[in-house]
Amino acid sequence: MTLSVTTAFANYWMVPRLGVFRENNPDVDLRVQTTNKDVDIASESISLAVRLGDGDWAGFQAVPLAREEIFAVCSPSYLNTHTPPVMPADLLTHSLIHLEEPFRPRATWADWFAQNGVAYRDAGEGLRLNDYALVIQAAIAGEGIAFGWRHVVELLIAQGVLVKALEASFRSDKRFFVVWPQAVALSSEASRVRDWLASQASVDVKG
The CATH number that applies at residue 95 is 3.40.190.10
Same domain, 126 and 153: yes
Q: Could you tell me the pTM of the whole model?
A: 0.89
Based on the domain organization, do 136 and 150 belong to the same domain?
Answer: yes
Q: What is the pLDDT confidence band of residue 39, given thresholds at 50, 70 and 90? A: confident
Is the pLDDT confidence value at 37 over 80?
no
Do 163 and 88 fall within a single domain? yes
State how far the alpha carbon of 67 is from the alpha carbons of 133, 177, 205, in Å. 19, 9, 5
Residues 126 and 177 in one domain: no
Summarised one tens digit per residue, pLDDT across range 123-136 is 888 899 999 999 99
Mean per-residue pLDDT for 22-50? 86
Q: How many domains does the chain have?
A: 2
Whole-number pLDDT of residue 44: 81
Residue 116 located in a structural domain = yes
Which structural domain, as residue segments, surrounds residue 180? 2-67+173-200
Please report the pLDDT score of residue 203 as a whole number. 44
Residues 76, 125, single domain; the answer is yes
Say whether both 143 and 187 belong to one domain.
no
Same domain, 142 and 77: yes
Query: Is residue 110 situated within a structural domain?
Result: yes
Mean residue pLDDT across the chain: 91
Is 206 inside a domain boundary? no
Please state the rounded mean pLDDT for residues 42-63: 89
Residues 115 and 30 in one domain: no
164 and 84 co-located in one domain: yes
- Is residue 207, in this structure, part of any structural domain at all? no
195: left (phi over 0), alpha (psi -120 to 50) or beta: alpha
Domain assignment present for 205: no
Residue 163 inside a domain? The answer is yes
- Provide the strand spans (E) within the chain: 2-5, 31-34, 48-53, 60-74, 97-99, 127-129, 146-149, 163-181
Residue pair 34/132 in contact (Cβ under 8 Å)? The answer is no
Q: Is the pLDDT of residue 207 over 60?
A: no
